[in-house]
């Protein structure tokens, strides 16, 4: 495990962004910077930390965790649906196939939980029983396992807040064809089932997650990230039941720790967010690293700061070898 001291020393060196003018125009999402090179995409996963659809700061080593853990999962699920991975030339970098983005986040939930505006628990607690077009029974408690996983899609917002969608709205608005929507649902359920099984072997509950898809030559392809602590909730299996019975929050190894910290301070995405404390940054970094090690069964690789020059060097080597990238 990376020590608290090393994390604290790395805070001012966290990877906020990388500028590589030789690759052309840079675009940025909440966490990732990317460059388009012909039919390829160079994705740089930074240490930027977002929650409530707001960038809150940076967490050391987080970018490498997200990138390497996604690579692990893409390899483990490529038999279910093709993915965009071409290579991982650097702990923070993925070179991928360029696909046409489907502007839907396929959120799937096995438990009723969450504190954000798009979570089902927030609506359920207010008395709603039809959420995302799905009817929920009375008597559910926060963090309770659902009878079966439910798909609760949202819009894909690069900036601003994601908005809820229902299956009816997706088809009425013709965001995707009925055929592609069916494929997305089937892939989502199969990916979630695979994720649950692999996490269970590591003593982890995969609570919920999100998948993003694109079209490549008219065919469905899995893109973005996969089963990371940014896009998924992970709970410790052996303590879940006891804590649930005591109405305590589950032991989590994901971004929910951050959301709960902000929620206690009264922040849920509106107005100016409180500044992250150094202890929160250390705790988050160690949780991200820990979930990588638990799921993969591997020690988190030594990743040194500053990262900008290393990323440029590793990308440069790949670009020299593959003239098709430029």
Q: Which domains does the chain have, with CATH numbers?
A: 4-325 (3.30.470.20)
Give residue 316's pLDDT: 87
pTM of the shown model: 0.92
Q: Of 282, 300, 288, which Cα lies nearest the Cα of 10?
A: 282
Q: How far apart are CA 139 and CA 113, in angstroms?
A: 14
Give residue 156's pLDDT: 79
With H, G, I as helix, E, B as strand and everything else as coil, classify residue 321.
helix
Contact between 121 and 114 (Cβ < 8 Å): yes
Give residue 326's pLDDT: 44
Contact between 215 and 100 (Cβ < 8 Å): yes
Rounded average pLDDT per 10-residue block, the chain, 326 residues: 91 94 92 94 96 90 97 98 97 97 97 83 94 95 97 77 87 96 98 98 97 97 96 95 96 86 88 93 95 96 91 87 54
């Amino acid at each position: 495990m990376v020590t608290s001291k090393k994390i604290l020393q790395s805070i001012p060196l966290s990877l906020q962004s990388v500028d590589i003018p030789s690759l052309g125009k840079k675009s940025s999402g909440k966490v990732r910077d990317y460059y388009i090179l012909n039919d390829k995409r160079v994705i740089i996963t930074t240490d930027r930390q977002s929650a409530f659809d707001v960038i809150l700061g940076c967490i050391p080593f987080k970018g490498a965790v997200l990138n390497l853990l996604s690579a692990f999962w893409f390899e483990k699920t490529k038999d279910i649906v093709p993915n965009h991975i071409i290579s991982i030339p650097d702990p923070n970098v993925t070179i991928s196939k360029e696909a046409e983005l489907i502007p839907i986040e396929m959120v799937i939930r096995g438990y009723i939980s969450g504190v954000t505006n798009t979570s089902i628990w927030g609506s359920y607690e207010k008395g709603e029983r039809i959420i995302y077009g799905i009817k929920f029974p009375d008597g559910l408690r926060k963090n309770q396992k659902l009878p079966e996983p439910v798909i609760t899609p949202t819009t894909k917002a690069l900036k601003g807040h994601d908005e809820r969608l229902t299956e009816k709205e997706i088809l009425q608005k013709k965001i995707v064809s009925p055929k592609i929507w069916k494929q997305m649902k089937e892939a989502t359920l199969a990916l979630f089932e695979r994720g649950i099984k692999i996490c269970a072997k590591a003593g982890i509950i995969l609570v919920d997650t999100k998948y993003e898809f694109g079209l490549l030559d008219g065919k469905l392809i899995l893109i973005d990230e996969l089963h990371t602590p940014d896009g998924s909730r992970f709970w410790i299996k052996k303590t879940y039941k006891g804590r649930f019975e005591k109405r305590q929050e589950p032991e989590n190894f994901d971004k929910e720790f951050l959301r709960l910290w902000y929620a206690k301070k009264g922040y849920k995405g509106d107005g100016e967010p409180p500044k992250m404390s150094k202890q929160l940054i250390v705790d988050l970094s160690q949780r991200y690293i820990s979930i990588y090690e638990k799921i993969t069964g591997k020690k988190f690789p030594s990743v040194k700061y500053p990262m900008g020059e290393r990323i440029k060097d590793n990308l440069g080597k790949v670009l020299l070898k593959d003239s098709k990238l430029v």
